[in-house]
Amino acid sequence: MFQHHDITRDALMLRGSLAHQGYDWWWHSFTAQDAETGEDKPFFIEFFVCNPALAANEPVLGQLKENQAIHRKPSYLMVKAGTWGEDACQLHRFFAWKDVQMHGNAPYEIQAENCHASETELRGSVSITPEDAATHPEWMCDAGEMRWELKVDKLLAFNVGYGASKPLRDAEAFAMYWHAEGMKSAFSGEIVYNGRRYTVTPEKCYGYADKNWGRDFTTPWVWLSSNCLTSRKTGQQLKNSVFDIGGGRPKIYFVPLDRRLLGVFYYEGKEYDFNFSHLHLRVKTEFSFEEQEEEVIWHVRQENIHAAMETEVHCLKKDMLLINYEAPDGSRRHRRLWNGGNGTGVVRLYDKVNGQMQLADEIDATHIGCEYGEYDHEEAY
Protein backbone atom coordinates (compact mmCIF):
# COMPACT_ATOMS: atom_id res chain seq x y z
CA MET A 1 0.00 0.00 0.00
CA PHE A 2 1.74 3.17 -1.14
CA GLN A 3 -1.06 5.49 0.04
CA HIS A 4 0.33 5.52 3.55
CA HIS A 5 1.04 8.76 5.43
CA ASP A 6 4.22 8.91 7.48
CA ILE A 7 5.36 12.35 8.63
CA THR A 8 8.52 10.86 10.14
CA ARG A 9 9.79 10.75 6.55
CA ASP A 10 9.33 14.52 6.41
CA ALA A 11 11.72 14.95 9.34
CA LEU A 12 15.21 16.37 8.81
CA MET A 13 17.39 13.54 7.52
CA LEU A 14 20.78 15.27 7.65
CA ARG A 15 22.36 13.27 10.43
CA GLY A 16 25.53 11.22 10.54
CA SER A 17 27.49 11.39 7.29
CA LEU A 18 24.68 13.27 5.55
CA ALA A 19 25.20 16.22 7.92
CA HIS A 20 28.63 16.71 6.34
CA GLN A 21 27.63 16.02 2.75
CA GLY A 22 23.90 15.94 2.26
CA TYR A 23 20.84 17.90 1.23
CA ASP A 24 17.20 17.76 2.27
CA TRP A 25 14.33 19.68 0.72
CA TRP A 26 10.61 20.20 1.14
CA TRP A 27 8.93 21.02 -2.19
CA HIS A 28 5.45 22.49 -2.71
CA SER A 29 3.76 23.32 -6.02
CA PHE A 30 0.23 24.44 -6.78
CA THR A 31 -1.95 26.63 -8.99
CA ALA A 32 -3.36 30.01 -7.96
CA GLN A 33 -5.85 32.33 -9.63
CA ASP A 34 -5.26 35.99 -10.49
CA ALA A 35 -7.40 37.99 -8.05
CA GLU A 36 -8.57 40.33 -10.84
CA THR A 37 -8.87 38.11 -13.91
CA GLY A 38 -9.28 34.62 -12.43
CA GLU A 39 -6.54 33.30 -14.73
CA ASP A 40 -4.62 30.25 -13.53
CA LYS A 41 -0.96 30.66 -12.59
CA PRO A 42 1.26 27.91 -11.14
CA PHE A 43 3.77 28.55 -8.34
CA PHE A 44 6.33 26.64 -6.31
CA ILE A 45 7.93 27.08 -2.88
CA GLU A 46 10.82 25.01 -1.60
CA PHE A 47 12.92 24.93 1.56
CA PHE A 48 16.33 23.40 0.73
CA VAL A 49 18.93 22.69 3.43
CA CYS A 50 22.53 21.63 2.89
CA ASN A 51 25.45 20.40 5.02
CA PRO A 52 24.46 21.61 8.52
CA ALA A 53 27.67 20.23 10.08
CA LEU A 54 29.69 22.71 7.98
CA ALA A 55 27.82 25.79 9.22
CA ALA A 56 29.52 29.19 9.28
CA ASN A 57 28.52 32.70 10.34
CA GLU A 58 27.28 33.42 6.82
CA PRO A 59 25.70 31.17 4.17
CA VAL A 60 28.46 29.21 2.43
CA LEU A 61 27.75 29.28 -1.32
CA GLY A 62 29.44 26.57 -3.33
CA GLN A 63 29.45 28.53 -6.58
CA LEU A 64 31.61 31.37 -5.21
CA LYS A 65 35.01 31.19 -6.92
CA GLU A 66 36.88 31.58 -3.63
CA ASN A 67 35.02 28.61 -2.18
CA GLN A 68 35.57 26.52 -5.30
CA ALA A 69 39.29 27.31 -5.17
CA ILE A 70 39.63 25.66 -1.76
CA HIS A 71 36.94 23.00 -2.38
CA ARG A 72 34.74 24.43 0.35
CA LYS A 73 31.34 22.74 0.45
CA PRO A 74 28.09 24.74 0.65
CA SER A 75 26.13 25.10 3.88
CA TYR A 76 22.82 26.98 4.24
CA LEU A 77 19.08 27.07 4.15
CA MET A 78 17.88 28.19 0.71
CA VAL A 79 14.29 29.35 0.34
CA LYS A 80 13.38 28.90 -3.32
CA ALA A 81 10.16 30.37 -4.72
CA GLY A 82 8.88 31.15 -8.17
CA THR A 83 6.44 30.61 -10.96
CA TRP A 84 6.04 28.97 -14.33
CA GLY A 85 4.64 30.45 -17.53
CA GLU A 86 6.04 32.98 -19.98
CA ASP A 87 7.39 34.99 -17.02
CA ALA A 88 8.84 31.90 -15.33
CA CYS A 89 11.43 32.65 -12.67
CA GLN A 90 13.19 31.17 -9.66
CA LEU A 91 14.10 33.33 -6.67
CA HIS A 92 16.59 32.25 -4.00
CA ARG A 93 17.09 33.53 -0.46
CA PHE A 94 19.95 32.14 1.64
CA PHE A 95 20.31 31.86 5.42
CA ALA A 96 23.24 30.79 7.58
CA TRP A 97 22.42 27.88 9.88
CA LYS A 98 22.84 30.11 12.96
CA ASP A 99 19.83 32.10 11.75
CA VAL A 100 17.64 29.01 11.26
CA GLN A 101 15.36 27.56 13.91
CA MET A 102 14.85 23.93 13.00
CA HIS A 103 12.62 21.37 14.67
CA GLY A 104 14.04 18.39 12.87
CA ASN A 105 11.85 15.63 14.27
CA ALA A 106 8.30 14.96 13.11
CA PRO A 107 6.34 17.08 12.65
CA TYR A 108 9.12 19.16 11.09
CA GLU A 109 9.25 22.95 11.30
CA ILE A 110 11.72 25.46 9.83
CA GLN A 111 11.88 29.17 10.62
CA ALA A 112 14.32 31.82 9.37
CA GLU A 113 13.28 35.45 9.80
CA ASN A 114 9.83 35.66 8.14
CA CYS A 115 10.19 32.38 6.22
CA HIS A 116 8.41 29.41 7.76
CA ALA A 117 7.60 25.88 6.61
CA SER A 118 5.81 23.03 8.37
CA GLU A 119 3.40 20.20 7.57
CA THR A 120 0.46 22.61 7.61
CA GLU A 121 1.75 26.13 6.88
CA LEU A 122 3.99 28.08 4.51
CA ARG A 123 4.92 31.74 5.01
CA GLY A 124 7.67 33.89 3.62
CA SER A 125 9.06 36.27 1.05
CA VAL A 126 11.93 36.61 -1.41
CA SER A 127 13.02 39.81 -3.15
CA ILE A 128 15.87 39.94 -5.68
CA THR A 129 16.72 43.09 -7.61
CA PRO A 130 17.91 42.86 -11.24
CA GLU A 131 21.24 44.34 -10.14
CA ASP A 132 21.77 41.73 -7.42
CA ALA A 133 20.79 38.87 -9.73
CA ALA A 134 23.31 40.10 -12.33
CA THR A 135 26.18 40.63 -9.87
CA HIS A 136 25.66 37.45 -7.84
CA PRO A 137 25.72 34.49 -10.22
CA GLU A 138 26.47 32.28 -7.19
CA TRP A 139 22.85 32.83 -6.14
CA MET A 140 21.79 30.92 -9.32
CA CYS A 141 18.53 32.87 -9.57
CA ASP A 142 16.47 35.49 -11.38
CA ALA A 143 15.10 38.87 -10.28
CA GLY A 144 11.64 39.43 -8.83
CA GLU A 145 9.55 39.59 -5.68
CA MET A 146 7.22 37.05 -4.13
CA ARG A 147 5.54 36.68 -0.76
CA TRP A 148 3.12 34.03 0.43
CA GLU A 149 0.92 32.91 3.29
CA LEU A 150 -0.60 29.47 2.84
CA LYS A 151 -2.26 26.59 4.67
CA VAL A 152 -1.46 23.04 3.54
CA ASP A 153 -3.56 19.89 3.86
CA LYS A 154 -1.75 16.79 2.58
CA LEU A 155 -4.53 14.48 1.40
CA LEU A 156 -2.89 11.52 -0.38
CA ALA A 157 0.61 10.14 0.05
CA PHE A 158 3.10 8.20 -2.03
CA ASN A 159 5.17 6.29 0.49
CA VAL A 160 8.07 4.88 -1.51
CA GLY A 161 8.89 2.47 1.29
CA TYR A 162 12.66 2.10 1.30
CA GLY A 163 15.42 3.74 3.27
CA ALA A 164 13.80 6.46 5.30
CA SER A 165 12.82 4.47 8.36
CA LYS A 166 16.44 4.16 9.50
CA PRO A 167 18.27 7.10 7.88
CA LEU A 168 21.48 6.64 9.88
CA ARG A 169 21.82 2.98 8.94
CA ASP A 170 20.83 3.61 5.31
CA ALA A 171 22.61 6.93 4.81
CA GLU A 172 25.05 5.41 2.32
CA ALA A 173 22.58 3.07 0.60
CA PHE A 174 20.65 5.27 -1.84
CA ALA A 175 22.23 8.47 -3.17
CA MET A 176 18.80 10.13 -3.39
CA TYR A 177 15.65 9.35 -1.40
CA TRP A 178 12.08 10.45 -2.10
CA HIS A 179 8.85 10.73 -0.10
CA ALA A 180 5.62 12.40 -1.25
CA GLU A 181 3.60 12.97 1.92
CA GLY A 182 1.21 15.15 -0.09
CA MET A 183 1.24 13.97 -3.69
CA LYS A 184 -2.31 15.34 -3.64
CA SER A 185 -2.50 18.39 -1.39
CA ALA A 186 -5.01 21.16 -0.75
CA PHE A 187 -3.49 24.66 -0.46
CA SER A 188 -5.31 27.82 0.57
CA GLY A 189 -4.15 31.39 1.02
CA GLU A 190 -2.56 34.18 -0.96
CA ILE A 191 0.46 34.86 -3.18
CA VAL A 192 1.73 38.31 -4.16
CA TYR A 193 4.08 38.04 -7.13
CA ASN A 194 5.72 41.19 -8.55
CA GLY A 195 2.96 43.28 -7.00
CA ARG A 196 0.07 41.23 -8.36
CA ARG A 197 -2.20 39.28 -6.01
CA TYR A 198 -3.23 35.65 -6.51
CA THR A 199 -5.64 33.57 -4.45
CA VAL A 200 -5.15 29.88 -3.70
CA THR A 201 -8.13 27.61 -3.01
CA PRO A 202 -8.32 23.87 -2.26
CA GLU A 203 -10.73 23.27 -5.17
CA LYS A 204 -8.47 24.74 -7.87
CA CYS A 205 -4.93 24.48 -6.53
CA TYR A 206 -4.10 20.94 -7.81
CA GLY A 207 -1.45 20.92 -5.10
CA TYR A 208 1.57 18.70 -4.58
CA ALA A 209 4.12 18.36 -1.73
CA ASP A 210 7.09 16.04 -1.44
CA LYS A 211 10.66 15.89 -0.24
CA ASN A 212 14.01 14.57 -1.44
CA TRP A 213 17.23 14.04 0.49
CA GLY A 214 20.59 12.37 0.03
CA ARG A 215 24.22 12.98 -0.85
CA ASP A 216 23.84 13.50 -4.62
CA PHE A 217 21.32 14.00 -7.43
CA THR A 218 20.20 11.32 -9.87
CA THR A 219 20.84 11.48 -13.60
CA PRO A 220 18.65 11.23 -15.52
CA TRP A 221 16.26 13.06 -13.22
CA VAL A 222 12.55 12.45 -13.91
CA TRP A 223 9.40 13.75 -12.23
CA LEU A 224 5.78 13.80 -13.48
CA SER A 225 2.67 14.33 -11.35
CA SER A 226 -0.89 15.66 -11.55
CA ASN A 227 -4.20 15.45 -9.73
CA CYS A 228 -6.12 17.51 -12.32
CA LEU A 229 -7.47 14.48 -14.15
CA THR A 230 -10.49 13.77 -16.35
CA SER A 231 -11.68 10.31 -17.35
CA ARG A 232 -12.35 9.78 -21.07
CA LYS A 233 -14.38 6.75 -20.04
CA THR A 234 -16.96 8.77 -18.07
CA GLY A 235 -16.16 12.36 -19.02
CA GLN A 236 -15.98 13.19 -15.30
CA GLN A 237 -13.20 14.77 -13.33
CA LEU A 238 -11.40 12.26 -11.10
CA LYS A 239 -11.53 14.09 -7.79
CA ASN A 240 -9.93 11.35 -5.70
CA SER A 241 -7.04 10.51 -8.01
CA VAL A 242 -3.41 11.41 -8.62
CA PHE A 243 -0.40 9.98 -10.41
CA ASP A 244 3.25 10.44 -9.49
CA ILE A 245 6.36 9.24 -11.33
CA GLY A 246 9.95 9.89 -10.32
CA GLY A 247 13.50 8.61 -10.37
CA GLY A 248 15.89 8.01 -13.23
CA ARG A 249 19.07 6.08 -12.47
CA PRO A 250 19.25 5.38 -8.75
CA LYS A 251 22.51 4.44 -7.03
CA ILE A 252 22.74 1.88 -4.26
CA TYR A 253 26.05 1.93 -2.39
CA PHE A 254 27.46 4.07 -5.25
CA VAL A 255 26.51 1.42 -7.83
CA PRO A 256 24.10 2.82 -10.48
CA LEU A 257 21.13 0.69 -11.48
CA ASP A 258 19.69 0.59 -14.98
CA ARG A 259 17.17 3.32 -15.78
CA ARG A 260 14.44 2.84 -13.18
CA LEU A 261 11.39 4.84 -12.16
CA LEU A 262 9.03 4.79 -9.20
CA GLY A 263 5.49 5.26 -10.44
CA VAL A 264 2.00 5.10 -8.95
CA PHE A 265 -1.58 6.01 -9.87
CA TYR A 266 -4.17 6.39 -7.14
CA TYR A 267 -7.30 5.94 -9.24
CA GLU A 268 -10.45 6.79 -7.28
CA GLY A 269 -9.26 4.65 -4.38
CA LYS A 270 -7.61 1.87 -6.39
CA GLU A 271 -3.84 1.65 -6.24
CA TYR A 272 -1.70 1.00 -9.30
CA ASP A 273 1.86 0.48 -8.05
CA PHE A 274 4.92 0.49 -10.30
CA ASN A 275 7.63 0.86 -7.66
CA PHE A 276 10.73 -0.99 -8.90
CA SER A 277 11.91 -1.58 -5.31
CA HIS A 278 8.87 -3.85 -4.72
CA LEU A 279 10.48 -6.90 -6.24
CA HIS A 280 7.39 -9.09 -6.01
CA LEU A 281 5.64 -6.81 -8.56
CA ARG A 282 8.33 -7.49 -11.20
CA VAL A 283 8.08 -3.94 -12.52
CA LYS A 284 9.32 -3.18 -16.02
CA THR A 285 9.89 0.41 -17.11
CA GLU A 286 10.68 2.15 -20.37
CA PHE A 287 10.99 5.91 -20.63
CA SER A 288 12.31 8.57 -22.96
CA PHE A 289 12.57 12.34 -23.13
CA GLU A 290 12.50 14.39 -26.30
CA GLU A 291 13.49 18.03 -26.59
CA GLN A 292 11.94 19.68 -29.63
CA GLU A 293 12.22 23.30 -30.77
CA GLU A 294 9.18 24.55 -28.84
CA GLU A 295 8.31 21.78 -26.38
CA VAL A 296 9.64 18.84 -24.42
CA ILE A 297 7.96 15.42 -24.29
CA TRP A 298 8.07 12.51 -21.83
CA HIS A 299 7.06 8.94 -22.72
CA VAL A 300 6.83 6.42 -19.88
CA ARG A 301 5.57 2.85 -19.92
CA GLN A 302 5.44 0.83 -16.70
CA GLU A 303 4.16 -2.67 -16.18
CA ASN A 304 3.82 -5.01 -13.23
CA ILE A 305 2.26 -8.46 -12.79
CA HIS A 306 -1.22 -6.92 -12.41
CA ALA A 307 -1.40 -3.82 -14.60
CA ALA A 308 0.30 -1.31 -16.87
CA MET A 309 0.45 2.47 -17.18
CA GLU A 310 1.39 4.47 -20.25
CA THR A 311 2.07 8.17 -19.76
CA GLU A 312 2.77 10.88 -22.32
CA VAL A 313 3.37 14.45 -21.20
CA HIS A 314 4.06 17.62 -23.19
CA CYS A 315 5.18 21.00 -21.86
CA LEU A 316 6.03 24.18 -23.78
CA LYS A 317 9.60 25.33 -23.23
CA LYS A 318 8.47 28.97 -22.98
CA ASP A 319 6.53 28.02 -19.82
CA MET A 320 9.44 26.20 -18.15
CA LEU A 321 12.58 26.86 -16.14
CA LEU A 322 16.04 25.43 -16.22
CA ILE A 323 15.96 25.03 -12.48
CA ASN A 324 19.18 25.44 -10.49
CA TYR A 325 20.70 23.52 -7.61
CA GLU A 326 24.22 22.83 -6.41
CA ALA A 327 25.15 19.43 -5.00
CA PRO A 328 26.38 19.07 -1.40
CA ASP A 329 29.96 18.64 -2.62
CA GLY A 330 29.79 22.11 -4.23
CA SER A 331 29.51 20.95 -7.83
CA ARG A 332 26.73 22.15 -10.10
CA ARG A 333 25.91 19.00 -11.99
CA HIS A 334 22.59 19.68 -13.71
CA ARG A 335 22.82 22.57 -16.19
CA ARG A 336 19.69 21.67 -18.20
CA LEU A 337 17.20 20.49 -15.62
CA TRP A 338 13.88 21.26 -17.30
CA ASN A 339 11.18 22.06 -14.75
CA GLY A 340 7.55 23.02 -15.35
CA GLY A 341 4.08 23.16 -13.86
CA ASN A 342 1.97 23.60 -17.00
CA GLY A 343 2.33 20.15 -18.52
CA THR A 344 -0.51 18.39 -20.33
CA GLY A 345 -0.84 14.76 -21.24
CA VAL A 346 -2.63 11.45 -21.36
CA VAL A 347 -2.35 8.46 -19.04
CA ARG A 348 -3.65 5.04 -20.05
CA LEU A 349 -4.30 2.51 -17.30
CA TYR A 350 -4.54 -1.20 -18.07
CA ASP A 351 -5.60 -4.14 -15.93
CA LYS A 352 -4.11 -7.54 -16.64
CA VAL A 353 -6.97 -10.07 -16.96
CA ASN A 354 -6.19 -13.71 -17.75
CA GLY A 355 -2.80 -12.64 -19.03
CA GLN A 356 -4.24 -9.98 -21.36
CA MET A 357 -4.10 -6.21 -20.95
CA GLN A 358 -7.50 -4.52 -20.85
CA LEU A 359 -7.84 -0.74 -20.95
CA ALA A 360 -9.26 0.43 -17.60
CA ASP A 361 -9.36 4.13 -18.48
CA GLU A 362 -7.76 6.80 -20.60
CA ILE A 363 -7.21 9.97 -18.59
CA ASP A 364 -6.54 13.53 -19.68
CA ALA A 365 -4.16 15.35 -17.33
CA THR A 366 -3.39 19.05 -17.01
CA HIS A 367 -1.47 21.20 -14.51
CA ILE A 368 1.23 18.51 -14.61
CA GLY A 369 4.38 19.08 -12.60
CA CYS A 370 7.21 17.88 -14.82
CA GLU A 371 10.98 17.64 -14.73
CA TYR A 372 13.83 16.14 -16.69
CA GLY A 373 17.58 16.57 -16.60
CA GLU A 374 20.66 14.59 -17.51
CA TYR A 375 24.32 15.50 -17.27
CA ASP A 376 27.63 14.20 -18.54
CA HIS A 377 29.69 13.00 -15.59
CA GLU A 378 32.89 14.20 -17.22
CA GLU A 379 31.55 17.75 -17.71
CA ALA A 380 29.82 18.23 -14.34
CA TYR A 381 31.55 20.46 -11.82
Q: Given a cut of 50, is residue 18 above it in pLDDT?
A: yes
H or E segment and range at residue 131 = helix 130-135
Q: What are phi and psi of 135, to 5 degrees?
A: -95, -5
Q: Given a cut of 80, is residue 62 above it in pLDDT?
A: yes
Query: Can you give the pLDDT at residue 162?
Result: 61
Query: Can you give the pLDDT at residue 249?
Result: 60
pTM: 0.94
Per-residue pLDDT of 1-12, as tens digits, reads 899 999 999 999
Residues 221 and 373: beta-carbon distance below 8 Å: yes
Q: Where are the domains of the chain?
A: 7-373
H or E segment and range at residue 312 = strand 307-316
Residues 77 and 110: beta-carbon distance below 8 Å: yes
- Report the C-alpha gap between 346 and 340 in whole angstroms: 17
**360-367: average pLDDT:** 98
Reported as a pLDDT band with limits 50, 70 and 90, residue 356 is very high
For residue 286, which of 309, 273, 274, 302 has the smallest C-alpha distance? 302
For residue 51, which of 215, 166, 211 has the smallest C-alpha distance? 215
Average pLDDT, the chain: 93
Q: Given a cut of 60, is residue 168 above it in pLDDT?
A: no
Query: Can you give the pLDDT at residue 258?
Result: 62
For residue 297, which of 315, 273, 285, 310 has the smallest C-alpha distance? 315
Question: According to CATH, what is the number of the domain 7-373?
Answer: 2.40.370.10
Query: Can you give the pLDDT at residue 174?
Result: 54
Q: Given a cut of 80, is residue 97 above it in pLDDT?
A: yes
Query: Can you give the pLDDT at residue 276?
Result: 81
Q: Given a cut of 70, is residue 154 above it in pLDDT?
A: yes
Reported as a pLDDT band with limits 50, 70 and 90, residue 32 is very high
3-state helix, strand, coil split of the chain in percent (to 5) is 10, 55, 35
Where does residue 353 fall: left (phi above 0), alpha (psi -120 to 50 degrees), or beta otherwise? beta
**Least trusted range by pLDDT, from 148-162, 321-335, 367-381:** 367-381
Per-residue pLDDT of 175-206, as tens digits, reads 789 999 999 999 999 999 999 999 999 999 99
Residues with Cβ within 8 Å of residue 238, at least 6 apart in sequence: 229, 230, 231, 267, 268, 363
